[in-house]
Structure 1
Amino acid sequence: MRAAVRRDAHGRRRGARAGARRDARAGARAGAAVTPAAVPVDEPAQPDRIRRSSDAIRFAASVVGLAAVMLLVSIAQQTTHGLQTDIAQGTAHAPRLLLSLATLVSSFGVLAVPVAFAIERLLRKDGTRVAIALLAAVIAFGITVGLDDLVVRAAPGGVLDSLIWGGSATAPVHTDIAPVIAFVSAVGMAGRLRWQAATWTLIGVAALTGLTASYASVAALAATYFLGTAIGHGTLYAVGTPNPRPSGAAVMATLDRLGLRAAKAARLDEPAEGAEEARRYGVVLGSGPAAGHGVRPPARHGGWDVEVHVLDRDQQTAGLLYRVWRLLRLRSATTGRALRSLRRSLEQESLMAYAVDAAGVRTPRLLGTSEVGTEAALLAYEHVPGRRLADVPDKEITDALLADVWRQFRALQAARLAHRRLQDGAVLVGEDGRAYVTDLRAGEIAAGDLALRLDLAQLLTTLALRTDAERAVRTAAGVLGEEALAAAVPLLQRVALSRETRAALRDDRELLTRIREQIVRLKPETEVAPIRLERFRPRTVISIVALSIAAYIVIPQVASLDLRTMAATASWHWVVAALGGAALTYLAAALMLMGFVPERLPLGRTVLAQLAASFVKLVAPAAVGGVAVNTRYLQRSGVRPGPAVASVGASQLVGLVTHLLLLVLFGFLTGSSGKATQDLAPSRTIVIAVLATGLVAGLALTVPRVRREATSRLRSMFSGVVPRLVDVLQSPKKLTTGMGGTLLLTVGFVLCLDASIRAFGGSLPVTSVVVVFLTANALGSAAPTPGGLGAVEGALTLALTISGLSAETATSAVLLYRLLTLWLPVLPGWAAFAYLQRKEAL
């Protein structure tokens, strides 16, 4: 123990010594030097380098920009070539002397200015950043040379070659300026406007001279810019940037200038890379405030006197992608800005602190604010000893404490102040047992009704998670009244709550329902319909992506068909019959599902759900897409999640058993020695693969953990499916509907395939067609490709050829069959999918 204490003390002293050098630089930037008698700050050593999320975001944005340029030159070559031609013709009239002078200046200046900036940084002892920037420049140079000299020559006519305009340009990227852009992106010129202006001006001139000399095209210059910035920010993120955060000693020096002279201080929070929370320091003040500042010192509460929150500039982008997603997804009235500058964050929290205090809400008093150099800012609060509500044991959360929390919340609402983060970490329970509101960084003054009601929904959920729904609602009603609680019911949705609260709700998915029920009991006439908070829902994005993927798959497939020849040779009355068989399958699938659901389902909407499933098949394996759509449809139709999964599982299980029985039956009828079944027998490779899979599965089941997991999954599946089957067996009508739909589904597909064969003059016994369909359908269901692509076509063509059809007839029949059962339903399937979404049926 003593050795551990000595090691910890040594680590803290080493961290303090390592931070002293940063303190001097931070103090110089802040306009004040740290005195020799620096305030002792007990804090862990800060890392020498950090990875900033802003660098990762800029890297990703540059990669996206580069991909967009590549896409543009691949699909709009004439447009880019025309733009290049216009630029070349326009610069042809410029004076040659001016162009030569610009070329001379840019050739030297584009390198001279970054070199001068690097020297200036070295003189200021910032060599690490310069070294990282040089590494980025070297990487950029190597990549651009490789693209220019190796890739394009090895693969002429590719996408990179498309960047070369009309053959007159010599490189797809500008080798001279790509390393400079990478260097500038990595070296960090933020806040140094003169250096930025000089550097980017010369880079622009160099790009212009490259255009006039046909060294690179417009698209190549755009690709050069995005490639250079991607390499610069990617290198900076991979290696890490020198830590710009001021240490605790620099923070205490800034605090002293506010008139709050610290005697000692310590870090209160645990350092966490990438966290959105501000650094917190506890400070014990000296004998009195610094003379001449006039800041009223806080009252002595024992322990710390002041709690300092430090906002680091590099942390302002933490969680940016999530905030952007929320901003895009939710209505603008419910979200704040996704990105705020350091100054704006400081002003917003300060304004909110003063407004909350003026409203009479119990909160730590804000004593002062200040910037700490150029990379951070601080807010000094009066320290209130106590514990976060998250740290208070359940038995200590009394109704009196809950009522006090609701009284503070009522004062916030009366002043129209929205907190936006009313989680259990935002409520402090003081040593006197009273509640304090903290964590005001996301607050909003003059808030609208929707924001205030969202705060109410959030606090109700937070307190219900710590206690229960009944206590949270009862104590809130005693302070706010039943009318106020009724306004929160439509907003008790997962999407309206914070990310941490949504994660906590995974363990209690019915909590929001219980809160609504408690409020409705108090006020039965409460409106319970949820308010639409989302601009779009995740399933809308999935629908768009699915349609895009479907179009990407369908268009090449349809384009490869010789539709003119097929139309000329096909018998159209058989084509219509095949279309009728394909349409029959959707009615059969609807009846099959309805038969295994004891609840009553509308036939028309159930048929539309099966049509929507045909659209989903193009972006998911055939055995997965239909199950997901049907399960979702049953849940939206009022069937609970457990029975919904069990019903779909029961229908799938019966369908599988029926499929196997029909395959055995018609295989026997066709003749076990007949060619149609003999040649369709599994090959030696398939037998070996099946045996190997069985061996691996057997060995895996010898592991106790694997065996328990498999047993648990099988038990959970059959525990729901078997009771569902028992319910169906007790209802002759449901049993007839389900089994009839299962058989009718096979009949519809067989009719479609047989009519497709006859449409091109072929003919096979019905038993052979049934065996061919059942075999190909089994392969398609097992294939991991969307809709069984490839597996079904290959199996059908091979089986029909083996059964006696010519290769031409078999291929044409399979193409027509797949056109009617897979490709043609895509558009109506998407329309049905969108309609059911709009009607809240999916």
Structure 2
Amino acid sequence: MSLLPLDDPASPPPPQPPQPVEDGRRRPRAAGATRRALCLFPVLLLAVWAAVDWHAVRDGTALLAAADPWWLLTGLLFSYLGSVAAACVRQGAIPDRLPPGTLVASQIAAGAANHILPASIGAHAVTVRFLRRQGVPLPRATASIALYSLVRAVAKTPVVLIFLLAAPGAVPPARLLPEGRTLLMAAAGLLLAPAVGAALFAAVRPLRRPVLDFVRTALTDARHLHTRPARFLPLWGGAVAAPLIQASVVASVGTALGLPLTWTQLLFAFLAASTAAGAVPAPGGIGPVDAALVLTLAGYGTPLPLATATVIGYRLLTVWLPLLPGMLVLSALVQREQL
């Protein structure tokens, strides 16, 4: 009985299984191509939007050509200061410590995304993505979005009340009340939203546990945040400052154009218009707020051409001029995997 050799040097080596090196290389290449596509997508949206709304850009530039450039620059600074206020509220709404510089950059990018999707969906989506990249669990990230929205809505009430008490003659309270379809939409939203939510919670069983986890996390974080001055001070301070900063953009543009109104009237004109049109979901509030602001300024005695020019200038300083830098910041954050 002969034994066969275990190794035969003359025989060819057995075939080796394919190595996963090529797959490993293809995956980073595919991920890089996807990331580059995501970087270019915001810029493409910007180009499409500019082509659709080119008349507003052209007319606004022509109307503002004779305005005071220093006041317009002041309005632009107020516009960017709004991102800092939003970053303060975002940090105050979450227990985790976030990097300040990247947080402000994410809010600049979120402001650009906010002008694409209605009802702040774009800004919240960018923020949730940023928080997830920072290691924040999804329930806590979504709970911070809910707290951010609630605080921003609640904090506007004392601001309006202060204006009413400080200058009751200059800020008639009747201007705060929405009219017609806006009032009907607001009432329908207040009544239908809780009913729809309760119906979904009762009918769809898979939603119950995530909803309960979300509510539990939101209540726990809100209670914990309000025991820490380093959180609730920027939370409420930024929420109070945000509408005043936005109104200051309108006041700066009105001053640059020489509107016959005081700063108090200009500030309250924006507060009243944004309150009246807040029930209509639109990208960045564009449309309802503009119409309400023109009517409010005209109600104060401003000539209609000047009121229209003020609104166009406000949109140029808060949408068009910051939009390209915001989209570039958004693309850069995606490229650096911060989003």
Does the pair score TM above 0.5?
yes
- Counterpart of 2:77 in structure 1 is 580
- Indicate conservation of the 8 Å contact 2:297/2:307, yes or no: yes
- Indicate conservation of the 8 Å contact 2:139/2:213, yes or no: no
Q: Give per-residue Cα distances to partners, 1:529-549, cap 9 Å, x unaligned.
A: xx5652433x65455444323
- Counterpart of 1:590 in structure 2 is 87
- Counterpart of 2:124 in structure 1 is 627
Q: Pairwise mapping of residues 532-543 of structure 1 onto structure 2 (< 5 A)? A: 533-537=30-34, 541=37, 543=39
Name the amino acid aligned to 1:759: A
Instruction: Please report how far the alpha carbon of residue 715 of structure 1 lies from its aligned counterpart in structure 2 after TM superposition.
Output: 4.4
Counterparts in 2 of 1:631 and 1:819: CA distance versus 1, 3 Å: same
Q: Give per-residue Cα distances to partners, 1:161-182, cap 9 Å, x unaligned.
A: xxxxxxxxxxxxxxxxxxxxxx
Q: Which SS does the other structure have where 1:570 is aligned? A: coil
Instruction: Please report how far the alpha carbon of residue 632 of structure 1 lies from its aligned counterpart in structure 2 after TM superposition.
Output: 0.9
- Counterpart of 1:822 in structure 2 is 319
Counterparts in 2 of 1:552 and 1:667: CA distance versus 1, 3 Å: farther
Instruction: Please report how far the alpha carbon of residue 736 of structure 1 lies from its aligned counterpart in structure 2 after TM superposition.
Output: 1.6
- Counterpart of 2:45 in structure 1 is 549
Any unmatched runs of 5+ in structure 2? Answer: 1-13
Instruction: Please report how far the alpha carbon of residue 669 of structure 1 lies from its aligned counterpart in structure 2 after TM superposition.
Output: 4.6
Instruction: Please report how far the alpha carbon of residue 635 of structure 1 lies from its aligned counterpart in structure 2 after TM superposition.
Output: 1.1
Counterparts in 2 of 1:690 and 1:563: CA distance versus 1, 3 Å: closer
Q: Pairwise mapping of residues 386-785 of structure 1 onto structure 2 (< 5 A)? A: 415-417=15-17, 447-450=18-21, 533-537=30-34, 541=37, 543-560=39-56, 561-562=58-59, 565-667=62-164, 669-671=166-168, 676-691=172-187, 707=202, 712=208, 715-778=212-275, 782-785=279-282
| Identical columns (%) | 26
Q: Give per-residue Cα distances to partners, 1:692-731, cap 9 Å, x unaligned.
A: 5666668768x96665559947645432222222221121
Any unmatched runs of 5+ in structure 1? Answer: 1-413, 418-446, 455-490, 497-530
Q: Give per-residue Cα distances to partners, 1:40-62, cap 9 Å, x unaligned.
A: xxxxxxxxxxxxxxxxxxxxxxx
Q: Give per-residue Cα distances to partners, 1:252-303, cap 9 Å, x unaligned.
A: xxxxxxxxxxxxxxxxxxxxxxxxxxxxxxxxxxxxxxxxxxxxxxxxxxxx
- Indicate conservation of the 8 Å contact 1:669/1:767, yes or no: no
2: CA distance between counterparts of 1:570 and 1:722? Answer: 49
Instruction: Please report how far the alpha carbon of residue 776 of structure 1 lies from its aligned counterpart in structure 2 after TM superposition.
Output: 3.4
Q: Give per-residue Cα distances to partners, 1:537-580, cap 9 Å, x unaligned.
A: 3x654554443232222244344433564344311221121122
2: CA distance between counterparts of 1:679 and 1:747? Answer: 17
- Counterpart of 1:788 in structure 2 is 285
- Indicate conservation of the 8 Å contact 2:159/2:240, yes or no: no
Q: Give per-residue Cα distances to partners, 1:584-615, cap 9 Å, x unaligned.
A: 11111112212222222222111110111122
Q: Which has the larger radius of gyration?
A: 1
Are residues 1:812 and 2:339 paired? no
2: CA distance between counterparts of 1:557 and 1:654? Answer: 33
2: CA distance between counterparts of 1:573 and 1:796? Answer: 23
**Larger strand percent:** 1
Counterparts in 2 of 1:778 and 1:545: CA distance versus 1, 3 Å: farther
Instruction: Please report how far the alpha carbon of residue 676 of structure 1 lies from its aligned counterpart in structure 2 after TM superposition.
Output: 4.1
Task: Report the TM-score, using the length of structure 2 for normalisation.
Answer: 0.81
2: CA distance between counterparts of 1:591 and 1:705? Answer: 34
Q: CA RMSD in A?
A: 3.3
Name the amino acid aligned to 2:49: I
Counterparts in 2 of 1:707 and 1:580: CA distance versus 1, 3 Å: same
Name the amino acid aligned to 1:653: L
2: CA distance between counterparts of 1:699 and 1:651? Answer: 23
Counterparts in 2 of 1:559 and 1:416: CA distance versus 1, 3 Å: farther
Task: Report the TM-score, using the length of structure 1 for normalisation.
Answer: 0.35
Counterparts in 2 of 1:780 and 1:635: CA distance versus 1, 3 Å: farther
Q: Give per-residue Cα distances to partners, 1:417-459, cap 9 Å, x unaligned.
A: 4xxxxxxxxxxxxxxxxxxxxxxxxxxxxx34335x77xxxxx
